[in-house]
Amino acid sequence: MADGREAWLGIDLGTQSVRVLLVAADGTVLGRGSAPLGGHREGERHEQDPEEWWAGVCAASRQALGGVTGVRIGGLAVCGTSGTVLLTDPAGRPVSPGLMYDDGRAAREAARVRAAGVAVQDTWALPKAVWLMGEYGGDVAGAAAVGPRASPGAHRPHPHLRPARPSRFRLAHQPDVIVGRLVGVPRPADSSHALKTGYDLERDAWPYAAFAELGLPDGLFPDVVRPGTPLGEVGAEASEATGIPAGTRVVAGMTDGCAAQIASGALRPGSWNSVLGTTLVLKGVSTTPVHDPAGVVYNHRAPDGGWLPGGASGVGAGVLTASFAGADPAAMDERAAAYEPSGAVTYPLVSSGERFPFRAPDASALVLGQPRDDADLWAALLQGVAFTERLCLDYLHHLGAPLDGPLTFTGGGARSRYWNQLRADILGRPARVPVQTEPALGMAALAAHGTGAGGSLADVAERMVRVRTVLEPRPGRTALFAEPYARLIDELTARGWLPPPVAAHARTRLDRNTADS
């Protein structure tokens, strides 16, 4: 490739595919590629073969760069699914499958982790690390394979110091495997992916005392750097496999949710990005962490030192696929417009359990009332997702999070013009929809920022992100949906899922703009 126009590569390791974008500073996509990923699902089990990730990166990168001339690649960054981890040997070679973000086999281990003082959810990466060491490294409750447990009253190391307890294994996050292959040696993990592995972002430290209590060797865990930190350059062997020029700079990435947030341009304080895919994820920007005693909202650290609070719900567009296999979404949207509000109220969980806007492992999908026909049910599901989205914002308001900035819609659900307008109506606030919403775009922007391509990450992203449309809520529509929203709040409270103080706060805001302070 000739030294001419500069562009950056974003690599997104998704659930179903690897996607790669080559993006210029003004947001023009110069090349794109994708490669499918398989996996194994069975009950709570969800695994992928890490070698497939690398094969997918090689294929998708070659596709994205094929035929591109006169472009100099300034750098690249990689994002992956949050909470996906595996074990490797010290050289970075995988020795276990990748346990995916929603693998649920470590629920018992999660209870042990919480008892050790680390706030985690059942599917987070640290419980999976305990499970993996039990499967591949011996009994982590105190077996010699992973080092002795501290006896009661024994001295515990300061959490900022790494004691010399070696491990024959290393824990790796999904992008760590790819970065290691690109650079040629294992490199530090980014703090964004390390968050769900128990890394304390406020103290910039692993909780080594908790690891000792859990029987985990300190050498199991990688060094950690902030997103955007240079990690090395693409080596000759990786260049031959991927088509990425040798010497291309590699910078530390972020999780796919944070990558989507960067791709939305929602990086100024008070801004929020709502990612509606199979499930719903909200991520915002704050100058300080948003503390949540319930552990529902967690905070990523932005490359510039600010904070990215957010949470992931179990509701989303996946319920439409499950309920209406083979349906034409556009045709169903057109029919659903006649049911505002629907004759039924739903909480459309894709699978059992909820994490945001409340934590309820036993929560299940619900339908209140009887839909008149399939179009009414479709309408109820669309509205139920929007009600959940509103409840998420009401919960964030309850915690004191800043909500007064712009709201952006991304994800597969944002392809529906009708659903976007319905969501804006129910939320009572304007919403922006960008042209390009892929997490790979966010990683291209982070790569540009990390290699010094001018200004803050927000500046870089705003130059790359192009807004397709801005939706305004239709007059009177927010109030129209207040009654069914209140019914849902009452039902969630009656079932013991939604805490009464949160419900009471949401009721005070039934017909208000969710951006109001």
| pLDDT 10s digits, 463-509 | 999 999 999 999 999 999 999 999 999 999 999 999 999 999 999 99
How sure is the predictor about 277, in pLDDT bands with cuts at 50, 70 and 90?
A: confident
Residue with tokens 């039924």: 344
What pLDDT does 437 receive?
77
Contact, 465 vs 261, CB < 8 A?
no
What pLDDT does 141 receive?
42
What pLDDT does 154 receive?
31
Indicate if the pLDDT at residue 165 is higher than 70.
Answer: no
Indicate if the pLDDT at residue 162 is higher than 60.
Answer: no
The domain spans of the chain are 82-222, 256-430+472-507
What pLDDT does 366 receive?
96
Residue 118, helix vs strand vs coil: coil
Percent of the chain with pLDDT over 90: 83
CATH class entry, domain 256-430+472-507 = alpha beta
What pLDDT does 305 receive?
85
In 29-173, where does DSSP find H-type helix? 50-65, 107-115, 125-136
Indicate if the pLDDT at residue 514 is higher than 70.
Answer: yes
Q: Per the structure block, which two tokens stand in for 373?
A: 């026909």
What pLDDT does 354 receive?
95
Q: Would the CATH topology of 82-222 be identical to that of 256-430+472-507?
A: yes
392-405 per-residue burial string, b: 16 or more CB within 10 A, e: under 16:
bbbbbbbbebbbeb
DSSP string, 373-442: SHHHHHHHHHHHHHHHHHHHHHHHHHTT----S-EEEESGGGG-HHHHHHHHHHHTS-EEEES---HHHH
What pLDDT does 138 receive?
59
What pLDDT does 167 receive?
73
* Cα separations in angstroms, 288 against 265, 274, 299, 403, 471: 19, 20, 9, 13, 29
How sure is the predictor about 169, in pLDDT bands with cuts at 50, 70 and 90?
A: very high
Peptide bond into 230 cis (omega under 30): no
How sure is the predictor about 188, in pLDDT bands with cuts at 50, 70 and 90?
A: very high
Indicate if the pLDDT at residue 17 is higher than 80.
Answer: yes
Mean pLDDT estimate for the chain: 91
Give the tens place of pLDDT for each residue, 342-381: 999 999 999 889 999 999 999 999 999 999 999 999 999 9
Return the CATH fold of 82-222: Nucleotidyltransferase; domain 5 (3.30.420)
Indicate if the pLDDT at residue 3 is higher than 60.
Answer: no
What pLDDT does 160 receive?
37
Name the residue type at position 195.
Answer: L
What pLDDT does 397 receive?
97
Give the tens place of pLDDT for each residue, 283-325: 999 999 999 999 899 899 998 889 999 999 999 999 999 999 9
Percent of the chain with pLDDT over 70: 93
Average pLDDT estimate for 23-27:
94
Q: Per the structure block, which two tokens stand in for 350?
A: 């894709």
What pLDDT does 341 receive?
97
How sure is the predictor about 4, in pLDDT bands with cuts at 50, 70 and 90?
A: low
**Least confident span in 2-16, 102-116, 141-155:** 141-155
Torsion, Cα of 99, 101, 209, 358 (10° steps):
-150
What pLDDT does 513 receive?
87
Indicate if the pLDDT at residue 164 is higher than 50.
Answer: no
Give the tens place of pLDDT for each residue, 373-417: 999 999 999 999 999 999 999 999 999 999 999 999 988 899 999
